[in-house]
Amino acid sequence: MDPILEGPSGEPATSPTSGTPAFNLVPPPNADIYKKLEEEVPKGRKFDEVTQITDIELRNALLVEAKRRKYWGTKAVNKMVFEQIEHSACYHYVLDSFTETRSTAEGTEAYTIGQFVETHGDPLMAHFGASTSGGYANPWDYEVVPEESFKVQTKVFELPGSSRLNPCHVCNAEGVSHCFHCRGFGTDKCGYCRGTGMKAGVAHPAVYTHPMVGTFPHADTTRGYPGSSVAMMRPSLGNRQAYAVGTPVHFMVKAGLPPPGIGNYDLCLFCQGRGVRECHHCRGNGKKTCSVCGGHGSVRSFTKLKVFFTIEHSEYFTKCEIPEHILRSGQGDVIFEETQPYVLPLKKFTIGEINDASRKYCAQHLQKSLGSCRVIKQRHYVSAFAVAKVYYKLESRTGVFYVFGNQRLCFIPKAPSKCAIM
């Protein structure tokens, strides 16, 4: 089903059917929310604790990774001695802003006065240039609800109250336009005989060498449309058809007799020896139906409204010995989460880096939205990756590995120097 846009009066708007023009950005109305944010103080924020990884989980995670990379077997992992375990945490801060951007573009479609009156129900609105505007000129006056929060989506509607009936500017309200292919004459070179009038596609010497003709086909292109590559004769009498010079019909018009040695079976089957055919673009009329108004002489102009919902995303990881791209493969425990129309930066988190990142990203998101988009809502959360750094010893060899995340993934930074499958 097509989405429906409702304005303050509740009138629906239909989806436009014309082409895709360039949309112009419409800045949102100014809001005093930024001054209020500076005065507000966050309340009731609680941060959960990070759970440590047990020795059993360490050994199980190492066994899975060692078998996957074919480092050690089960017996080797069970014999391994954990000399030292260092527990820590890596914190991941994420800020998402769900924003809305609106832009407008003008569109037109073929429309008759009768259709306009039937649609809007007011005969007075059928005058050219009339509008159905109800006084809502600002595209931000209409409420558009997204299908789902924090999901990129686009909606295009016809702006209610923007419909106008105007004369077509392409054909000057006549409904027909000049055929530029045949220059309005309605004839064009025959493509089957190449303008010669002969079935063989080659001009006959008995025609173009006759003293009363003396013209080879295509010789005088000033008489016809240059793109047609053939000179045409257009008699002034209405009952005479146009013909190309140097053709059998040209010979018969000049000499009054058919060309010697040429029968009807030698003439082109499609143009009958004239060398020209009816223009297939305008069907011989010299004028075509206007492609803009569809022959009605009037068009309906309206304003398209495009609403674009997107997500501004920023994230920050605290320093950790595990590379960031490996940390992203796991999941941490969400120890804090908040969703508000405008979230306030964190100030009392135990890690100062997170507070600084939160303050920086909140300011950046609000700065980007000024004059370009409207923030619908924001959410931010802090997830903690429990990290255990293990110093192990296997016989005479020593090394280090890490276990992290609530999935208990294992990261071995340096492969063993020699295979020790046991």
Q: Is residue 228 part of a domain?
A: no
CA atoms within 13 A on the CB side of 187: 22
> What pLDDT is stored for residue 4 in this prediction?
43
At 5 the pLDDT is 44
Residues 175, 178, 179, 183, Cα dihedral to 10°:
160
Q: Which residues of 245-268 are buried (b: 16+ CB within 10 A; e: fewer)?
A: bbbbbbbeebeeeebeebeeeebb
Looking at residue 403, what is its pLDDT? 95
pLDDT at position 83 is: 92
Nearest to 218 by CA among 226, 205, 230: 230
Is 304 part of a structural domain of the chain? Answer: no
Query: Is-contact 326 163, C-beta < 8 A?
Result: no
Enter the DSSP assignment of 260: T
Ranges of the chain whose pLDDT falls below 50: 1-18, 123-135, 219-228, 419-422
Rg (CA), the chain: 40
Give the domain extent around 347. Answer: 46-97+310-411
How far lies 337's CA from each of 1, 46, 148, 384, in Å? 35, 9, 19, 12
Report if residue 293 sits inside a domain: no
Is 87 within the bounds of a domain?
yes
- Specify if 70 maps to a domain: yes
pLDDT digits (tens, 9 = 90+) for 160-191: 878 888 888 888 888 888 887 777 777 888 87
Per-residue pLDDT tens digits for 190-242? 878 877 888 787 777 777 676 666 565 654 444 444 444 566 666 665 556 77
Residue 359 lies in a domain: yes
- Domain assignment present for 328: yes
Please report whether residue 377 resides in a domain: yes
Domains of the chain: total? 1
Phi and psi at 129, nearest 5°, equal: 85, 0
